[in-house]
Amino acid sequence: MIGKEVKKELRAIVGDGRYLDNKEDLMLYSYDAFMVQAQPEVVLLPITTEEVSKIMKVASRERIPVTARGAGTNLTGGSVPTQGGIVLCFTKMNKILDIDKENRVAVLQPGVVNMEFQKELTKYGLYYPPDPGSMAVTTMGGNVAENAGGPRAVKYGVTKDYLLGLEVVLASGQILHTGGKTIKNVTGYNLTQLFCGSEGTLGLITEITLKLLPLPESRRTLQAAYKNLSDAGQTVVKVLERGILPVALELLDKVFINIIEDYTHIGLPREAEALLLIEVDGPEAGVIDQAERLTKLCREMGAHEIKVAKTAEENEEIWRARRSAYGAEARLRPTAIAEDCTVPVTKLVDMFQEVAKIARKYNLLIPIVAHAGDGNLHPQILTDIRNKEEMERVVKAIDEISIKAVELGGTLTGEHGIGIAKREILPYEIGEVAMEITRTLKKAFDPFNILNPDKVVRIV
């Protein structure tokens, strides 16, 4: 419980409009896109590093748990304040501080929204590739804290590949600067990357320095429809084998094709068993060449219908439709649990089969979307949290899917993180040595265990 006096102190740091503690607002910060909910005692919306630092000084003195929050779109319970305390929400700390065209570097506050940032960059002819499906809302702070990726990871990698430096407020309230503005930097330990994917458990990110690319001249998306899911999976392997490097290579199964079509009406092939979305980019001539080679290859591999986007708008429309996948599933069942297992690309088809087997075994509806080009599957377990009996089966299915992925040489989570959703199963993949190091690191950064306690590892 946060006492009255301490509340007053916190309120004084941010001022009335950015301090919330009435019942309704607390409820509104009790959730993210995962299914667990818990209420904080106060919500603070800081706008400067100094405010964050002052808040942390109070919190560490009083041992108050602090859960950082961006847009609250993570899928693993990362921004749910399971131990109450403070939710520190960064949405109002949203200035782009610098876009340095000459050095191709940008400096941002954590509340900047991914898509807004991307839009701003196009004005300078610059490009920041990571494009999580939630890019229209997610904050860059949340992206760094989750090391978010997106469809374009196949060619361009994920958040960590663009991260040059950070400003971080530590549990004690001290302000740490890591990295810098240069691509090369081996001065000291690579602390920057340590915070990337740390899910708010090691420190609070208050400023981000990113590397940028020049905007590609042209891009084109191809849709290839298959009557057979494994043909689509095999195509993915063949594309990579033939030395084509697409920007993105996504797969949708029949259920997804249909729910997305229900929402968007953009003419997806409803009868197909699988649809591949393949995007290529680069100079116009190269793009046309790659699109032709891909069309030929998909045909060889059994695609019965292939469509190439004709305009930039059409291109964007397809990707917007793809990004609606997670939301659109609620058309079928009210609760969706987004699995995130990742396997080597050559094991994709095996993993599809395993998921289908598990779905049958537990009598569950588990359609699949996949960032197939990097082996990252999202089997979506569609259920209803109000149905206790079914939820028991769901929990078992989730564990089995994760274990299968690891057995196939893959990993539990490709991009959604651990949060609370995957915490118990984490040791299974990383082992006791890594667990011990993880706990040691956590204690070094957060001796009182106040930064997003309960997430990633439990400290007792």
Partner 1 sequence: MDLQETKDLVYRCNKCGLCISACPVYQQLLMEAASPRGKVQLVKSYLEGGMELSPRFKEILLTCLLCENCVVNCPSGVQHDHVFTDLRTELVKTYGLNWKKRLIYKLLTNEKLLHSTSVLARLGRNWLLETFAKGMRLGNIPVERLPRVNPKPFRDRFNGLVLPEGEVRGRVYYFTGCFTNYFAEEVGQAVVNVLKRLHLEIEIPSGQDCCGVAAILSGEEEIPMKSVEKNISTLAREDLDAVLVDCATCGAAFKKEYIALLRRKGMDTSKAEILKGKTLDVLEYVAERIDLLPFRKDRNRPKIRVTYHDPCHLVRAQGVSQAPRKILKALPGVEFVEMKDANVCCGGGGSFQFDFPDVSKGITANKIKNIRETGASIVVTGCPGCRVTISGNMDESDQITVLHPIQLVDRLLSEETPEKSPQ
Ligand X SMILES: Cc1cc2nc3c(=O)[nH]c(=O)nc-3n(C[C@H](O)[C@H](O)[C@H](O)COP(=O)(O)OP(=O)(O)OC[C@H]3O[C@@H](n4cnc5c(N)ncnc54)[C@H](O)[C@@H]3O)c2cc1C
Instruction: Using DSSP, state whether 83 is helix, strand or coil.
Output: coil
Site for ligand X in 109-128 (CB under 6 A): 110
Nearer to partner 1, 111 or 373 (CB): 111
Q: For 422-458, b where at least 16 C-beta lie within 10 A, e where not — what string?
A: bbebbeebeeeeeeeebeeebeebbebbbbbbbbbbe
Nearer to partner 1, 94 or 452 (CB): 94
79 contributes a contact to ligand X by CB under 6 A: yes
Site for ligand X in 409-438 (CB under 6 A): 415-416
Site for ligand X in 13-72 (CB under 6 A): 32-33, 67-72
**DSSP annotation string for 421-433:** TTGGGHHHHHHHH
Reported in sequence order, the residue ranges of 172-215 that DSSP labels E, i.e. its strands, are 175-179, 204-211, 213-214
Residue 70 partner contact from ligand X, partner 1, ligand SF4, none using kind-dependent CB cut-offs of 5 to 8 Å:
ligand X
133 contributes a contact to ligand X by CB under 6 A: yes
80 contributes a contact to ligand X by CB under 6 A: no
Q: Which residue has the tokens 């921004």?
A: 79
286 contributes a contact to ligand SF4 by CB under 6 A: no
Residue 57 partner contact from ligand X, ligand SF4, partner 1, none using kind-dependent CB cut-offs of 5 to 8 Å:
none
Nearer to partner 1, 49 or 73 (CB): 73
Spatial distance between the Cα atoms of 117 and 277, rounded to a whole number of angstroms: 25
Spatial distance between the Cα atoms of 442 and 454, rounded to a whole number of angstroms: 12
DSSP H/E element including 226? strand 218-226
330 contributes a contact to ligand SF4 by CB under 6 A: yes
How many residues line the site for ligand SF4 (CB under 6 A)? 2
Token pair listed for 9: 């102190």
Q: Footprint of partner 1 on this chain (CB under 8 A)?
A: 20, 22-25, 27-29, 31-33, 45, 71-73, 89, 91-92, 94, 111, 113, 115, 134, 136-138, 260, 263, 323-331, 334-336
266 contributes a contact to ligand SF4 by CB under 6 A: no
434 contributes a contact to ligand SF4 by CB under 6 A: no
Instruction: Report which DSSP code applies to 305.
Output: E
How many residues line the site for ligand X (CB under 6 A)? 37
Spatial distance between the Cα atoms of 148 and 231, rounded to a whole number of angstroms: 29
Residue 25 partner contact from ligand X, partner 1, ligand SF4, none using kind-dependent CB cut-offs of 5 to 8 Å:
partner 1
Amino acid at the residue 157? G
Spatial distance between the Cα atoms of 71 and 2, rounded to a whole number of angstroms: 25
Residue 132 partner contact from ligand SF4, ligand X, partner 1, none using kind-dependent CB cut-offs of 5 to 8 Å:
ligand X
Token pair listed for 401: 């899917």
Q: Looking at beta carbons, which residue is closest to ligand SF4?
A: 327
**DSSP annotation string for 101-170:** TTTTEEEE-TT-BHHHHHHHHHTTTEE-----TTTTT-BHHHHHHHT---TTHHHH--GGGGEEEEEEE-
The residues binding ligand SF4 (CB under 6 A) are 327, 330
| Binding site residues, ligand X, CB under 6 A | 32-33, 67-75, 78-79, 90, 110, 132-134, 138-139, 141-143, 145-146, 148-150, 199-200, 204-205, 326-327, 415-416, 452
